[in-house]
Amino acid sequence: MATNGNNALHLATHSGWYRFERQGENWGQADRALTFWQMSCLQVDPENPKRVYIGTEHSGMFVTDNGGEEWRRAIPNVPCLAISSMLALPGKLLVGTMPAALYLKPGNGGWQELKGVRQGAVGGTFP
């Protein structure tokens, strides 16, 4: 879940992305949704509130520059397409993937893997 200012709320779920907009004192679902990817995380760009990044479990990252009216696959996409977390900072984006890796994309540059991230077990572990 993320907000862009005080007028929009974004939700990413396993059944899709949804946008809610403030309508006076109430919130209503906007007439736009994205429901054909299993989403794992989202971030609103702190410098451009109409730019929203979505990470998916199997299909990489998608981005919109107009508040969700149109979506496109991120180019270049994250090297590992199983995205589990992201953090948008001014001028850069950090993305965590499975298996454990952390990537940084500064501005309009390409992705750089940040070394030193603890490698997790491949597959599930119990308990």
Supply the pLDDT for residue 34.
Answer: 72
93-104 pLDDT tens trace: 999 998 788 899
Asked whether residue 125 is assigned to any structural domain, the reply reads: no
For 65-77, what is the mean pLDDT?
89
Q: What is the mean pLDDT of the chain?
A: 83
State the Cα–Cα distance between residues 58 and 44, nearest whole angstrom. Answer: 21
Supply the pLDDT for residue 122.
Answer: 57
- How is residue 120 annotated by DSSP? -
CATH of the domain at 7: 2.130.10.10
Number of neighbouring beta carbons within 10 Å of residue 54: 26
Q: Is the model's pLDDT at 91 over the cut of 80?
A: yes
Rg (CA), the chain: 15
Helix (H/G/I), strand (E/B), else coil: 127:
coil
State the Cα–Cα distance between residues 8 and 91, nearest whole angstrom. Answer: 22
Domain tally for the chain?
1
Provide the residue range defining the domain that includes 15.
2-114
Asked whether residue 7 is assigned to any structural domain, the reply reads: yes
Please, are residues 109 and 103 in contact by the beta-carbon 8 Å criterion?
no
Residue of 58 and 28 predicted with greater confidence: 58
Spatial CA neighbour of 86 closest among 51, 54, 62:
54
